[in-house]
Amino acid sequence: MSAVTPYTVQKFRGGYALVWYEGEKRHRRQLASMERSSADAEARQLWERANDSPWTVGRVVEAYIADLADKQAPSSQRRKDAWKAMRAFWENVDPALIDRKMCQSYRDTRAVADATARYELLMLSTALNWAGPAKVPHKPKIWLPEKDEYQVRYLSRDQFAKFFAAVKAPHARLYVQIGLYTMARPSAILELKWDQVDFDRRKIQLNPDGRKQTAKKRPVVPMNTILYEALLVAYAAREGVFVIECGAEPILSIKKAFQAASKRSGVKATPYTLRHTGAVWAAEAGVSMAELAQAMGHDDDRTTQKHYARFSPEHLRHVAEKIAQPRQIE
């Protein structure tokens, strides 16, 4: 049974059915939808209408996450992961009882950075807003930790070499190479299919045909020689349609492979570390912020400048030179 929903959607008589349990008794209801994504949405709506239990924080957040999944929102997986960490504290809480002290108590239970706790509490606030007054008549004001200055976490070249040497599984090694050399977001890499890889032009179309671009754009990126050769080897050995696969099945999460490699190497890295690492290396090599913004899928270079400009060897150099004119202080 799903960790997010108390029911499942299963194939049934050429279509789909909503399946749930009451104790050990199994119930099943035929759905009208014949396509999986619409069946999931139909099941969620039927379940919510039939469920007369109170709108606890758990019920609100899980319904919110299910709605994001129905819409194929790029943030849905990250929010699922966040809810796994939040669930024990918040699941049965009445939203009307949430106050500053409760939010601070939650923060004290989380051995994470303020930025992570802030993200989780912001997600809680967003879910309660999504629910509206019909489900949450008295929406509380959520206390948030102070917003820290954003720190770019990246690996030096020596650190990366040590980490990469500790990555064992072939699909995980390929993921690391794609992540570093394309700076693509984790979801784009895990969803990448072979028909998006153009070997003739040495380009990867990170946004598949038919997928609407979101605020987190997926650009067309070139392959360097290292990545091109790695992908050729993987393509020859492919078993399915996904680039990152294991036994013809797509990989839904790469986090365990990163955790294992981090432990073996002593170099802590996450899937998102690769995006930052590639961007920092490019900036250090003198790549312009405008070009880097395009490669990373930023709308313009303001975000790129904010996070990566300071790594460029030319960053603010002209200011220092102007200070030294018309003559240097001796």
CA distance 323 to 311: 21
Helix 36-50 to helix 57-70 angle (10° resolution) is: 160
Q: What is the pLDDT of residue 314?
A: 80
Sequence-separated (6 or more) residues with CB below 8 Å from residue 225: none
Q: Which of the four pLDDT bands, split at 50, 70 and 90, describes residue 317?
A: confident
Q: What is the pLDDT of residue 326?
A: 65
User: What are the residue ranges of helices labelled H in 152-270?
Assistant: 157-165, 170-182, 186-190, 225-236, 255-265
Q: What is the pLDDT of residue 4?
A: 46
Q: What is the pLDDT of residue 36?
A: 87
Mean per-residue pLDDT for 75-83?
86
47 has a pLDDT exceeding 90? no
* Residues 64 and 132: beta-carbon distance below 8 Å: no
Could you read off the pLDDT of 304-316 as tens digits, one per residue?
Answer: 998 999 999 888 7
Mean per-residue pLDDT for 63-72?
82
Q: What is the pLDDT of residue 155?
A: 96
Count of other CB atoms within 10 angstroms of residue 37: 12
Residue 145 backbone class (left: φ over 0; alpha: ψ -120 to 50; beta: rest): beta
CA distance 230 to 172: 12
Q: What is the pLDDT of residue 193?
A: 96
Mean per-residue pLDDT for 141-156?
86
Q: What is the pLDDT of residue 185?
A: 93
Q: What is the pLDDT of residue 74?
A: 67
Q: Which of 73-77, 103-107, 273-277 has the lowest mean pLDDT?
A: 73-77
Q: Where are the domains of the chain?
A: 1-51, 53-148, 157-311
**Tokens linked to 240:** 């399915």
Q: What is the pLDDT of residue 57?
A: 95
One of 1.10.10.10, 3.30.360.10, 3.40.630.30, 1.10.443.10 is the CATH number of 157-311, namely 1.10.443.10
CA distance 100 to 83: 20
Q: What is the pLDDT of residue 330?
A: 55
Could you read off the pLDDT of 217-230 as tens digits, one per residue?
Answer: 899 999 999 999 99
Mean pLDDT of the chain: 89
Could you read off the pLDDT of 258-273 as tens digits, one per residue?
Answer: 999 999 999 999 999 9
Sequence-separated (6 or more) residues with CB below 8 Å from residue 146: 114
Could you read off the pLDDT of 189-217 as tens digits, one per residue?
Answer: 999 999 999 999 999 999 999 888 887 88
Could you read off the pLDDT of 232-259 as tens digits, one per residue?
Answer: 999 999 999 999 999 889 998 999 999 9
Q: What is the pLDDT of residue 276?
A: 95
Considering only residues 264 and 49, tell me which one the structure prediction assigns the higher pLDDT.
Answer: 264
CA distance 153 to 266: 15
- Cα separations (Å) of 290 from 272, 286, 287, 295, 300? 21, 11, 8, 9, 7
CA distance 177 to 173: 6
61 has a pLDDT exceeding 80? yes
Q: Which of 8-17, 20-29, 176-185, 320-329 has the lowest mean pLDDT?
A: 320-329
Sequence-separated (6 or more) residues with CB below 8 Å from residue 147: 114, 115, 118
Q: What is the pLDDT of residue 231?
A: 97
1 has a pLDDT exceeding 50? no
Nearest alpha-carbon partner for 178 in 154, 163, 159, 197: 197
Q: What is the pLDDT of residue 23?
A: 75
Mean per-residue pLDDT for 269-292?
94
